[in-house]
Amino acid sequence: MAGRFGSSIAARQRMLPTVAALAVGCAGAPPRQGAAPLASVAQADVPPWYRDGGQADYPSDTYLVGVGACGASTPRTERAACAAQQAVDQIVLRVRANVTAVRERRCVQQVQLTTGQAARGTSSCEMTSSGTSTGSLELANTSPVAQHCTDGVGCFALVALPRSDVAARLHRTWDARRGETDAALQQIVASDPVTGLAALGRATQLAAQQDDIADLIGAVEGQAAAPASAVATVRSRRTAMLDHIQVCFSSAARDWPAEAAFNLAIRSLGTSGFRHIRTATACPATDVRVSLSANTREIAGPTSLPAGLAGADVALGGVVTIEVSGEVTVSTSDASLRRAVPMSARGVAESAERARREAAVEVAEQVDRAVQQLLLGGREDGR
């Protein structure tokens, strides 16, 4: 990592004999309207630690180092805080770059372990992340170790954080998340299939968060220090569990047969690793039953049709509306557990046939979301 930091420092040194264009505002904030950077700054006004990026006193193999500067176009009372924030932001950007390198290495290793062949770039494998690369990076004691302000020039700041301190905090966070993941995995063993699937979803999400923190550990301490992938461990448990669970879809709604209402949900479960899926009018004694009950109402024009004309194809006012309401239910074969999610859909068109087609699309989407919520509790990649 020292090489990565060193190249940035060398670039900064090349920019200084005149140290042109000091920052006009805090990093992450848009430039102030009409603000212009200083044309140049004399070398004498620039502290030595800014020129060398703090490396003389805080080598990058031991410290996470960042420097920042804010010029005279930043209000005087804000310059010191602005420069300090820029220094912290520089540290975060450097860690983020190293996180990417850690993930690329892990990605290649996953392909090698799975296929026995070297990956051809990161596109050959799946890079998982539950959020931004530095979302779990909590930096403490970020006050500058050096600061220099000059009237008419601006403020400079140097922030240096011991890598060991940052890494220790990350390890504590990773340990806490591992405990939560292990608890969710234990619940799978002691639960019925539906509850176990929900616990598996939580474990998958927690494992993805663990891997995010592990990537940060690798970025701070070195790639070899990053813990092994928790997602890989949970995925193996997931495969074993889903390989033995039977899911049956049925629909009691005459207008919405299971093959149509559950087509997206069946595809989602198949993509997620479920291998034993079927549809039926009435489900046999399978591990998990997913059923749909729904009421359909057809409205022509601006008012509801009389009950006797509910099936009419006449569009009063040129518009037909199909409204569907009901619930998606998941239960175990012995009915010892039952969970339900309400659903509603609507189709509007110039004919009943087209309105029904539009409603059918929304029914399938609503049912898919309900099944994802009830059975998966989160996608396999933890997002």
Instruction: Return the residue matching tokens 């309400």.
Output: 342
AA letter at 193: P
Share of the chain above pLDDT 70, in %: 74
Could you read off the pLDDT of 146-156 as tens digits, one per residue? 999 988 888 99
Instruction: Return the residue matching tokens 């062949």.
Output: 117
- pLDDT surpasses 70 at 266: yes
168 or 17, greater pLDDT: 168
From residue 253, alpha-carbon distances to 244, 260, 270, 295 in Å are: 29, 11, 24, 7
Could you read off the pLDDT of 76-127 as tens digits, one per residue? 999 999 999 999 999 999 998 888 888 877 777 666 665 555 545 444 444 4
Name the architecture of domain 246-376. 2-Layer Sandwich (3.30)
Specify the pLDDT at position 310: 43
Say if residues 358 and 319 touch (Cβ distance below 8 Å).
no
- pLDDT surpasses 50 at 128: no
| Band of residue 178 on the pLDDT scale cut at 50, 70, 90 | very high
Specify the pLDDT at position 257: 85
Which of 357, 343, 109, 341 shows the shortest CA–CA distance to 214?
A: 109
Instruction: Return the domain boundaries, the chain.
Output: 2-165, 171-242, 246-376
- pLDDT surpasses 90 at 335: no
Q: What is the pTM of this model?
A: 0.65
Share of the chain above pLDDT 90, in %: 29
Could you read off the pLDDT of 267-314 as tens digits, one per residue? 998 888 888 998 888 787 777 889 998 899 888 764 444 343 444 444
The CA radius of gyration of the chain, in Å to the nearest whole number, is: 29
Compute how many other C-beta atoms are within 10 angstroms of the C-beta atom of residue 143: 9
Say if residues 134 and 92 touch (Cβ distance below 8 Å).
yes
- pLDDT surpasses 70 at 33: no
* Burial of residue 151 (number of CB atoms within 10 Å: 0-12, 13-18, 19+): exposed
Specify the pLDDT at position 116: 59
| pLDDT averaged over every residue in the chain | 77
